[in-house]
Amino acid sequence: MPPPADRPLRTPTEQFEETARIHAREEQGAWLEFVNGRTRPKARTDGNRGIAVEWLTRGALAHRPELWLHPAQGLKAQPCRSDRVRADGALAPGEAFARQGEWVDPEPVLMVAEITAYDPETDRCSREEKPAVYAATGIPVYLLVDREARESIVRSRPRGARYAEVRTVPFGERLFLPSPVGMAFDTRRLKDCAPRPRASPYSAGPPRPAGECGGPVRGRWSVSAPPVPPPSPGAGRR
């Protein structure tokens, strides 16, 4: 059925924006992004991912107070600005996005940051698709905080749809963000937002004393006999 004459045809990007607005009103578990012409879910920030965002924000303010890490910032992406991505953090001047809507022009952005979410689709997109998207958009630096791998990956010097330089820094080591960011961070704080290895429930622990639950006992149905009370004074006398 053709659209009414008074309703202009909408581009896929415009259709996505309307879908994302409806989804945001009805669903609280995820955002939507429009990456490489496809709608993709993005897990919302949880408490541990928030630690990483806070760490970056405080570090940026300490080094360059004129900048701000805009959290969960919607960006227009790709050279033609047809994609819509929501970075966990976009480093830009404080008033860079004034008088813009939900999806802003990425021109003032010096760096984008993504933090893995333990959500397969979100993390796959952050690791595999977004490096090319951010490079093609012209974002100078892309920082991926990979909580599962316990490392940060810094990509810089965009060349077309790829970054010419890629450096990996394990959590706990000093992280340098190159120009135009020009900051150095102590990444020990990131260990607080990474998973801790859990002991196997089947691992052998120290032996328990006899009588405790699961401890060694004698005999199949062995139980401890109650103690015999001492004889009362005068017992056995007549």
Chain center to CA of 167? 19
Q: pLDDT by residue (tens digit) across 22-37?
A: 665 445 567 889 999 8
Global pTM value: 0.72
- What is the fold, at CATH topology level, of the domain defined by 45-193? tt1808, chain A (3.90.1570)
- Segment 109-135 shows an average pLDDT of 94
Is pLDDT above 60 for 5? no
- Segment 36-61 shows an average pLDDT of 87
Residue ranges per structural domain of the chain: 45-193
Residue 201 binned pLDDT confidence (cut-offs 50, 70, 90): very low
